[in-house]
Amino acid sequence: MGKTVAEKIFDAHFVDNPCEDIFVIRLDAVFCHEITTPVAINDLVSRGKDRVFDPAKIKAVIDHVTPAKDSKTALQGKIVRDWARRNNIKDFFDVGRNGVCHAIFPEKGFVRPGYTIIMGDSHTCTHGAFGAFAAGVGTTDLEVGILKGVCAFQYPQTLKINITGKLPPGVFAKDVILSVIGRLGVNGATNKVIEFAGPVIENMSMEARMTLCNMAIEAGGTCGICYPDQTTVDYLWPFISGEYASKEAALAAFEAFCPDPDAVYADEMTLDVSDLSPQVTYGYKPDTVRPVSEMEGTPVDQVYIGSCTNGRLEDLRVAAAVLKGNRIRDSLRGIVSPATPDIFTKALDEGIIKIFMDAGFCVTNPTCGACLGMSNGVLAEGEVCASTTNRNFFGRMGKGGMVHLMSPATAAATALAGHITNSTLYSA
Amino acid sequence: MKNFNGEILFLDRADINTDEIIPARYLTEITKEALKPYLLEDLKFDGFDPAKDIAGKQVIITQSNFGCGSSREHAPWALEVNGINLVIGESFARIFRQNMFNCGMMAVALSKEEIDRLFAEFSGSPATLETDFANNRFTIKGNNREADIGFSISGFDRALVEAGGWVDYADVNY
Ligand code: SF4
């Protein structure tokens, strides 16, 4: 019987089957950030087990609140920093070299097709864009991952989503995934891996694939997966050129992690995006999705462009294309957080940062900050934010605040109009 | 093993997310105990007031997809430090469910019919639940009634509860 991507990866990483459909698998990487790791570190210390299974396979970053905003967040950073030093973790990204975890780790080449990755962060599903099994876990799973290099999961069930047709101009991966979540509901993919397949995905950049996979968790999915192809190889080539004789050889090796033609899926669905329009959320759950045109005119207090969903260079380029030569409305404030130092530098070189600043945006350092209402753009009670992030829960970006999720193009257009509106890149 | 008996808090809403269970602004805490006052602080719906309704409760009964959203284990911890080690619902988000058992706590799914029946018969007046872990049974008393309901958890979940959590289990086995 044929296998899905996740089944192939599980079988290649098998450690134990303690009972029924529970499988313990070997991990290729454990990612860490300063919000969910300190309690694991402190627990390991108190158990007298302050060690790591393999320092080269652990990557750590301070990204949620950076630079520290108060004594508590300073302590969280210090716990991770001291631990990384003690345990000889070389890939630790401290203030100044740090960026949003799910943007900086792929950018550094830490993800490969067929990898197994965990992190104490629900949006770890992002890394499935490379054909990896990457899952968000809690602090206890993280702790065991750090110590033993293993994690337990249910043997994966897979939902295959075929994205067909051709994306209209001004419609992006964010609109596709919002539309998918609107159909599935916040519970629609619980305990399932989602494979994204079809011509639209094949034509997407790695950045766009990451945007797509990033939000698999918003439908409850364990991981979102795209099949490794030439685009994957080209992206990874600077990191793997020493390991493979040629790009063709790398592609052949990676394609081992594509699904078998007779793979068995728990469910399948097809979405033709040829007529898809830009999408936006209207409620307090990410599945409350409708076309931007139906929300036209909704006033907002803040526009936020950034996060692990849409803070990459491609996103900033699109937003800048909309903003160029214009100023945002005085009735709102715009905040942009390039997701990593590398993205920030390239955006500077390309003149994108100047476009944002000329438009009246505040440009912050790379950080999660505003996305989860911790720093760098927290909403006041009753305020509304147009945001390129991935979660619109009540109070997510600040107690009593409302969040509308959308693409960078829609967010930029909204900043110029002062209310939710479609960008000029899209013509209905 | 942790305590799985006590007074029931009924939360009559689906999709209660981890931001509602423990808001992100408290994630700067590095001890579990510090989370205690903030449990369910952002959960807003008619018939629930976190300031009054949590005290003294040791079991939660709720609807579907409880614990969706963030991976934060602060959600089970905030429950644990308030003395709540058992959540019963129609379904759970994967990470939350795993976090509960990883902490030696329980997230137990019952059928929609059973959940509906528990809400119909017991919510709205004081009710208590007793867990017979060895025999997979809950006994619920309140409103001059008594219900005896069977449940099932996987052998792995059972082992985690008995071991006191995944760290202890993994330390012995891997
Ligand atoms: S940008 Fe937002 S969603 Fe992404 S990791 Fe940071 S806090 Fe989480």
Short-list A408, A61, A66, A30, CA closest to A207: A408
- Asked if the model's pLDDT at residue A428 lies above 80, the reply is no
Q: Which atom of ligand 1 is nearest to the CA of A307?
A: 1
| Cβ pair A20:B95 closer than 8 A | no
For residues A340-357, b (16+ Cβ closer than 10 Å) or e, as one string? Answer: bbbbbebbeeeebbebbe
| Percent of chain B with pLDDT strictly greater than 90 | 96
Answer for the pair A302, A335: CB distance below 8 angstroms, yes or no: yes
User: Which atom of ligand 1 is closest in space to residue A309's alpha carbon?
Assistant: 4
Residue B37: both structure tokens together: 């006052």
The protein residue whose alpha carbon is closest to atom 6 in ligand 1 is A368
The pLDDT mean for chain B works out to 96
Asked, for residue B20, whether it belongs to a domain, the answer is yes
B40 inside domain: yes
Q: How far is A140 from chain B (nearest CA, A)?
A: 6
- How many domains is chain B built from? 1
Is the residue at B116 inside a domain?
yes
pLDDT of residue A1: 85
Q: What percent of chain B has pLDDT over 70?
A: 100
- Which tens digit of pLDDT belongs to each residue from B57-108? 999 999 999 999 999 999 999 999 999 999 999 999 999 999 999 999 999 9
What average pLDDT does this structure show over A150-156? 97
Cα dist from B69 to A186, A390, B16, B94, B100, whole Å: 9, 10, 9, 10, 15
**Residue type at position A391:** R
Ligand 1 centre to CA of B137 (Å) is 40
Q: What is the pLDDT of residue A20?
A: 86
CB-based contact B102 A18, cutoff 8 Å: no
- Position A37 confidence tier, pLDDT thresholds 50, 70, 90: very high
Residue type, B169: Y
pLDDT at residue A88, as a whole number? 98
Mean pLDDT value across residues A218-239: 98
Task: Report the CATH number at residue B19.
Answer: 3.20.19.10
Question: B71 lies in a domain?
Answer: yes
> What would the pLDDT profile of A387-401 be if each residue is shown by its tens digit?
999 999 999 999 999
Residue A419: predicted pLDDT:
98
* Interfacial residues of B (vs A; Cβ cutoff 8 Å): 15, 17, 19-20, 23-25, 27-30, 32, 42, 44, 64-65, 68-73, 76, 91, 93-96, 98-99, 102-103, 154-156, 159, 165-167, 170-171, 173-174
Alpha carbons A328 and A341: distance in angstroms, whole number:
25
Contacts of B71 in chain A (CB under 8 A): 36, 120-122, 124, 136-138
User: What is the pTM for the complete model shown?
Assistant: 0.95
pLDDT of residue A92: 98
Q: Do B42 and A394 touch (CB under 8 A)?
A: yes
Percent of chain A beyond pLDDT 70? 100
Mutation to test the B interface, candidates A30, A393, A403, most B Cβ within 10 Å? A393
Write down all domains in chain A, each with its CATH number in brackets.
5-153 (3.30.499.10), 157-224+252-272 (3.40.1060.10), 281-425 (3.30.499.10)
**Do the Cβ atoms of A39 and B73 come closer than 8 Å?**
yes
Q: Which residues of A touch B72 (CB under 8 A)?
A: 35-36, 138
Element (H, E) at B173: helix B166-173
- 3-class secondary structure per residue, B59-104: EEEECCCECECCCCCHHHHHHHHCCCCEEEECCECHHHHHHHHHCC
Q: What is the per-residue pLDDT for A146?
A: 98
Tell me the pLDDT tens digit for each residue of A301-313: 999 999 999 999 9
pLDDT band at A251 (very low <50, low <70, confident <90, very high): very high
Which residue, among A405, A122, A307, has the nearest Cα to B27 in the 3D structure? A122
- Segment A233-245 mean pLDDT: 98
Task: Give the CA angle between residues A371, A375, A378 to the nearest 5°.
Answer: 70
CB contacts under 8 A, A 161-190 vs B, are 186-187, 190
Q: Does the pLDDT value for residue A427 go beyond 90?
A: no
From chain A residues 6-65, the ones with a CB under 8 A of any chain B CB are 15-16, 18-20, 22, 24, 35-36, 38-39, 42-43, 47, 49, 64-65
Query: Ligand 1 atom 2: the closest Cα is on which residue?
Result: A371
Please give all residues whose beta carbon lies within 6 A of any atom in ligand 1, as ranges: A 64, 100-102, 121, 123, 307-308, 368, 371-372, 389-390
For residue B154, give the nearest of A20, A39, A42 by CB distance. A20
Q: Quote the CA–CA distance of B1 and B158 in Å, as a whole number.
A: 11
B104 alpha-carbon distance from chain centroid: 12
Distance of alpha carbon A146 from alpha carbon A420, whole angstroms? 44
| DSSP bridge partners of A33 | A61
What value does the mean pLDDT take over residues A290-317? 98
Which whole number is the average pLDDT over B3-18? 97
Q: Which structural domain, as residue segments, surrounds residue B156? A: 6-173
Residue A164's pLDDT is what? 98
Q: Find out whether A58 and A89 touch, Cβ atoms under 8 Å.
A: yes
Largest CA distance in chain B: 49
Distance from CA of B116 to the nearest CA of A (A): 19
The residue among B72, B79, B90 whose CA lies nearest residue B18 is: B72
Tell me, yes or no, whether B58 lies in a domain: yes
- Asked if the structure places residue B92 within a domain, the reply is yes
Mutate to test the pocket of ligand 1, among A121, A315, A388, A396 (most ligand atoms within 8 A of CB): A121
Q: What is the pLDDT of residues A63-117, one digit of tens each?
A: 999 999 999 999 999 999 999 999 999 999 999 999 999 999 999 999 999 999 9
Report the gap between the CA of B168 and the closest CA in chain A (Å). 9
